[in-house]
Amino acid sequence: MGEAFFMSYMLGKASKKSEILTTKGKTLTLKNLLLWIIGIIVLTAAVFILGLEEISASIRQVNPVTFVFLVLLQVLTLLAAAIQWQFLLKKSQRKLSLGLVLAINLAGNYVESVTPAVKLGGEAAKVYLFRQHSSLEYDRLAGILLALKYYSMLPFFCLVVIFTGSAFLNYSMPRPALGAFAFLLLFFTAIALLYYRAGDKSVPVSAVQGPERVLPGNNIIKKMCKLEGSLLVLKNKAGKLTAFVNRAALFSRSIANRPERISLISISTAVWIAYPLKVYLVARMLELEIGFFPVAIITFTAYMVSMVPLLPGGLGSFEATMALMFSLNGFNPAEGLTVALLSRLVTYWFPLLLSAFAAAYLAYIRETNLKAYAGRIACQGSSARSSL
């Protein structure tokens, strides 16, 4: 099927990653676990190099009331993303409770947080799980995914251009930051092209099958026919994939009208602006004299670098970039790393904990439904035997 081929080709190993959410004892692959450990080792080394005592002293300045407010602000951003999904699912004639949508989003964020996949790993898991709970076709779910990804990436890219562009003009930025910006530009361009250009022309898809032509006694002709058959299979799959992408793109553009698109993009913009706000509140809580605009430059530069798929969840690259950017603003690198660690405690580790609970909850629901289904089948079988 074209849908299955699309999921494996476009979204990576969606079903395999979703097994992270539903299979006990298999929460991380060996590769991802190794990368995760590397990220934690990098962070630990940075803490000891920059000064464990100084960082510990700064952390002891945390105001519990401010920290709780930061956590509540993070919860609101998670709810905002769930509301966007729920709204577009409702537009697709699928009504799911906000709690279930939030749980699926969190479960997808769990995959995203433990895999270096520029968020695509988590999005693939979300599509898979929404398919299980809504029975909506894969092409429509892929369309919703594409629309929401564009609605999110558009304000993020604009904010990066504004704030990180200012960083390139005012600071001596390292070359990896320029490489990260180039990567983000390519990624956003790909999303925009898919959203705007895919599906402009209808692509007829038909099963391309040629007659089997095997002439006995001629090995060369046999091999040529075998190669031709393989090429026809690839052509058939490519045609199905193209048609699937076109259907998804057309649906992504038609699912919301202009006012609705503006509202969804506005929600995404508010979510992105909330991130430098959290960092700013952490910096002020630690009594660092810095304005919101420099904090926004630091935050969006750090998020831009962390989007490069090196370590799970940008672990290590985000903190290192933020510490470097704070040092460029005249602060001690240890102070910058402390801000990064506390910010990530709110925006990465706290959601990761919630995501683990959400994944376990969805796994419990799946197991319960399977047991209930097996019970119904057994009852039907016993009733049929008793009626004989």
pLDDT, tens only, 274-302:
999 999 999 999 999 999 999 999 999 99
- pLDDT confidence of residue 385: 58
| Residue 290 identity | I
Per-residue pLDDT, averaged over 93-98, amounts to 92
pLDDT value at position 205? Answer: 37
DSSP 8-state secondary structure symbol assigned to residue 348? I
- Report the percent of the chain where pLDDT is more than 70: 76
pLDDT number for residue 363: 86
Mean of pLDDT values over 7-23: 42
Which pLDDT value is given to residue 42? 80
Q: Compute the distance between CA of residue 46 and CA of residue 26 in angstroms, rounded to an integer.
A: 30
Specify the higher pLDDT residue, 315 or 64.
64
84: alpha, beta or left? (left if phi > 0; alpha if psi -120 to 50)? alpha
Q: Which residue has the higher pLDDT, 387 or 285?
A: 285
Query: pLDDT averaged over the chain?
Result: 81
- Record the pTM: 0.78
Q: Dihedral sign, CA of 21, 26, 31, 37?
A: positive
Average pLDDT for 106-110: 85
3-state secondary structure of 86: helix
Domain boundaries, the chain: 2-200+259-386
- Residue 135 φ then ψ, to 5°: 60, 20
Task: Dump pLDDT digits (tens) for 202-256.
Answer: 444 333 333 344 444 556 665 566 666 667 767 777 778 888 888 888 999 999 9
pLDDT of residue 111: 75
